[in-house]
Structure 1
Amino acid sequence: MNYELFQQINGLAGHSSLLDHFMVFLSNSVPYVVVLLLFYLWFIGNKQKGIEIRYTALYAVFSSAIALFINVIIHMVYYHPRPFVAHHVHKLVPHAADSSFVSDHAILVFAIAWTLLLRNTRGKYIILLWATMVGLSRVYVGVHYPFDVIGSIVLSFATSSLVIYFSNKLEPLVQLLFRIYHRINKFEKNNKEIYR
């Protein structure tokens, strides 16, 4: 079933240059979009929603970090060959032949999407749609099976839920990060005043 679903999605590749380029762009842009989105939540979104949006940004980072760490362990104990290793596929992006289960890209985007959904943050459905499109793009470009993406969805939902559930336990760490940020911000402001 996993391979059959993969064939249906990946089989669309190679028929439309425009769609191929869009899916490659979507797939490759994940790290940059994630960084920009987190910066937006921390700096710009904070002006609109107050301190709560910064909590959301931190929880998304915590969830991503925990899920990625778990994925490192999964890759160490379980190797699942990527589609292009085991089959003839439409491979649109270069990729190492490491284990495919689960997808790091999908973990990143869904950890953010789930965190925004669970925190009822504005724009949550747009981010969920983006995450879903990224998950599909990883299959479309030939580097992941659908179950790799589904595994990422489940794992990132679990870590996002746990981070929010145990948010009280994380409060000392959050406050420490806030203090570090405010000290850096204050230091920069003082330097600007000195050199005026």
Structure 2
Amino acid sequence: MKIDLYIFDSIHQFAGIFWPLDWLGILGAKYLPYLLIIAALYFLFRLKTSKEKLFFLSFTALATLLSRGIITEAFRFFYDRPRPFVALGFQPLISQDIAGSFPSGHAAFYFALALCLYLFNKKWGWWFMVLSLFMGLARVFVGVHYPSDILGGMAIAAVSFFVVLKIFSGNVTDETLDKKSLETLEKAA
């Protein structure tokens, strides 16, 4: 916990000092998630076949639901860690519900999404991973998460992704997927 607080302080200490940095932190923590959803929808609609679209949509929906909606909420039910601004008594740069901090729901959702995109398109996946990491750091900077919250969300995303990958790899055939999607799944599994 001391290292977590040390890293948090190292990042958050710059909040409120230089307005362009605050603006960048707020952009990453509050608005980047919306842009990533729009980009993911754009990616979905760029897929060529209906089978590809259905596979991407169902795989991603299951991975993100498992990551953010089930595992993250289960952790928060059993371990209600106060957010940094609550525990340390300061005003964060963005408004945020005071509900549990660990693990980060944003990190769990967006890293799961990034891994799903990586399965289909490595370039898109890497960009989403970089932007998701930036979002996670921004959420630490603005004071709504500790670094371990972000790492916990990333770990949950990875576990969820591989669970869904295992589920899908045993239950698809060339009749349910187009050739490209089937090859993608076989390479990953």
**TM-score (normalised: structure 2):** 0.80
- 1:52-87 Cα offsets, whole Å, 9 max, x none, are 465334322211111121111111111111111111
Rate the CA distance shift 1:71–1:127 in 2: closer, same or farther, 3 A. Answer: same
Give the Cα–Cα distance (whole angstroms) in 2 for the partners of residues 156 and 147 of structure 1: 14
Q: What's the Cα RMSD here?
A: 2.3
Output the amino acid matched with 2:39.
L
Name the structure 1 match of 2:25: 23
Name the structure 2 match of 1:5: 7
Residue aligned with 1:166, SS: helix
Name the structure 1 match of 2:56: 56
Residue aligned with 1:92, SS: coil
Counterparts of 1:33-44 in structure 2, within 5 Å, are 33-43=35-45
User: Is the Cα contact below 8 Å between 1:67 and 1:155 reproduced in 2?
Assistant: yes
Output the amino acid matched with 2:139.
R
Name the structure 2 match of 1:98: 99
| Structure 1 segments of 4+ aligned residues over 6 angstroms from their partners | none
Give the Cα–Cα distance (whole angstroms) in 2 for the partners of residues 51 and 22 of structure 1: 38
Percent identity over the alignment is: 26
**TM-score (normalised: structure 1):** 0.78
Output the amino acid matched with 2:13.
G
- 1:69-106 Cα offsets, whole Å, 9 max, x none, are 11111111111111111114461011122110011111
Question: Number of residues paired by the alignment?
Answer: 171
Shift of 1:118: 3.9
Rate the CA distance shift 1:84–1:170 in 2: closer, same or farther, 3 A. Answer: farther
Give the Cα–Cα distance (whole angstroms) in 1 for the partners of residues 171 and 75 of structure 2: 25
User: Is the Cα contact below 8 Å between 1:38 and 1:57 reproduced in 2?
Assistant: no
Q: Which runs of 5+ in 1 are unaligned?
A: 176-196
Larger Rg: 1
Q: Which runs of 5+ in 2 are unaligned?
A: 177-189
Give the Cα–Cα distance (whole angstroms) in 2 for the partners of residues 112 and 80 of structure 1: 25
Give the Cα–Cα distance (whole angstroms) in 1 for the partners of residues 65 and 55 of structure 2: 15
